[in-house]
Amino acid sequence: MITRHHIALTILCALILCSALVPSDLVFMTVICMGACIGTILPDIQMKKPKGIHIRTVAWLVSRFTSIVFTPLLCRLYQALGERTCNPEDKRLTHSVPGILFLGAALATILLVPTFIIGSTALYLSAAFLWGTILGLMLHLVEDMCTRKGITPFFPFSTTIVSGSIRPCDTTDRRIAQFHFYHCSVAGIILGFQYLGSWQGIASVPLCLFGLCSCLGMMIWSSDVSFSYDAIGELVDNQYVPAISDPFVIQWKTDHRSPELMMGVYYFSKNEQ
């Protein structure tokens, strides 16, 4: 998805959880939502620099931290573990579960270790910001899972792709707008009952979790998410590296486009004759 979709959907999901965890603390709620916004931007290392200076420039600057500092370190780590060489500019590095785990650990080191050593009261705010950032990272994967490009959740250990059917730039596809409306409705209902005093305390946690799961489940269900396997190798350091055998391949549904491909080969061969 594009940046504005990521930010909007992530903020709404963060508000749903904040309404259960810190319903009466606007400071912590703001810090968590800010962390979630940063987290949902960090994986997009392929983001192009905007022309001029505007709001999207801030998002581009945030993503530069990942591409300049994080992905080179991650590639060195994978190389040390014996995995094949990977390109630091390959977005699959940050659109995978191992990638966001490593990024979360790096952010925890940067945010928590200094404040823990100093012993400042800002430790709680740093922890809230880190929690929001990790939430944003996870939501980014779920949201991109619904697009046609999808994600490679176990890269580089596996090239299995999880993808949906949404084209984020297709204005005729109204599903993303429906996601915004549904997320906003769930967040509004939960926050409304919270501030009216109907649902408070620990009893509201299951309700908020159910609301968040229903939002994410609706996205996945509406996007026709499926599993596939990228059997195409990649070009690394100007050398072609073939795809390795993948132990995580999952057969989800058949490819109905194979007959069309074979028919195209038939006509091409006939014309050549």
| 8 A C-beta contact, residue 12 and residue 135 | no
pLDDT value of position 220: 92
How far is residue 10's CA from residue 271's CA, in Å, rounded to a whole number?
52
Provide the domain limits for residue 99.
Answer: 3-272
pLDDT value of position 201: 61
| 8 A C-beta contact, residue 189 and residue 198 | no
SS3 48: coil
The Cα angle at residue 87 between residues 86 and 89, in degrees rounded to 5: 145
Report mean pLDDT in 10-residue bins for the chain, 273 residues.
90 88 82 92 86 80 87 87 76 91 89 71 82 93 92 89 89 88 89 70 77 91 85 42 39 41 39 46
| 8 A C-beta contact, residue 76 and residue 177 | no
- Around 13, how many Cα atoms within 13 Å sit in the side-chain half-sphere? 31
pLDDT value of position 157: 86
Give the DSSP H/E element, type plus range, for residue 234: strand 234-236
pLDDT value of position 133: 93
Q: pTM of the full predicted structure?
A: 0.78
Q: Which of 102, 104, 129, 101 is nearest to 115 (CA)?
A: 129
- Around 167, how many Cα atoms within 13 Å sit in the side-chain half-sphere? 5
How far is residue 170's CA from residue 192's CA, in Å, rounded to a whole number?
33
State the Rg of the chain over Cα.
21
pLDDT value of position 170: 83
Strands (E), 154-229: 160-163, 226-229
Strands (E), 110-178: 160-163
pLDDT value of position 230: 65
pLDDT value of position 119: 63
pLDDT value of position 240: 36
| 8 A C-beta contact, residue 106 and residue 70 | yes
| 8 A C-beta contact, residue 207 and residue 198 | no
Q: How many domains does the chain have?
A: 1
